[in-house]
Amino acid sequence: MKNMRILTEEQKIFAEQNHMLVERFLWKNHLERAEFYDVVIFGYLKAVQEFLEKPELSKYPFSSIAWRKMRYSMIKEYIYRNCPKRNAPMGTYLEDYDCVFSREQVLEQVNCVASELEDRVQLQQLMSHMTVKEKEVVCMRAAGYTYREIAEHCNITMRGVSARLIRMRRRFRALALI
């Protein structure tokens, strides 16, 4: 870690005497000792050095200074771990040379996509000849609603729902759309 110097004998003894602060910090913040001890201990040792080298800090309890330094070291660690280059989605590039598509498989996929596109175009063409209420009824019916549920939602009778669908089908047949 930057700015870390070797501890003097006095600092080593002081650090040993107050080491329970590190354990308490890990426990209070629900941090796993195996994963975060190395991060927290550097903040603690920095606090030991500063507390013993700067006499103006003696007016504060050591635990406050140590706690603050350990928290700051954890914040720096979280910033380091969460930076975009470490959180970028990882993908693997595997080329399977054994998997060769036959011409029939490719043509089948193309035909499937083409028929789906044709269905969408036909649906748009049909929707352009419907009223707003008919569109609502058709969408609800396609979503699986019953005539009763559609009638309640649209404030019409069940017979009105059925009549709308019948009139719509007749109009489409007259226009030769279906």
SS3 60: coil
Least Cα distance to 43 among 20, 69, 67 occurs for 69
The rounded distance, in Å, linking the Cα atoms of 101 and 137 is 43
Among 8-12, 123-127, 139-143, where is mean pLDDT lowest?
123-127
Task: Indicate whether this model's pTM tops 0.95.
Answer: no
Place of tokens 């308490």: 24
| Domain assignments of the chain as residue spans, ordered by start | 9-87, 124-178
* C-alpha 7: how far from chain center: 44
> 104 to each of 95, 96, 110, 118, how far by Cα in Å?
21, 19, 10, 21
Fold of 124-178: Arc Repressor Mutant, subunit A (1.10.10)
Contact at 8 Å (CB) between 40 and 31? Answer: yes
| Most distant CA pair in the chain, distance | 100
For the stretch 77-119, pLDDT in tens is 998 888 887 777 777 766 665 566 777 888 888 888 888 888 8
Among 50-64, 71-85, 95-109, 144-158, where is mean pLDDT lowest?
95-109
Look at residue 71 in the predicted model and tell me its pLDDT: 95
For the stretch 23-53, pLDDT in tens is 999 999 999 999 999 999 999 999 999 999 9
Least Cα distance to 2 among 40, 37, 42 occurs for 42
Contact at 8 Å (CB) between 163 and 150? Answer: no
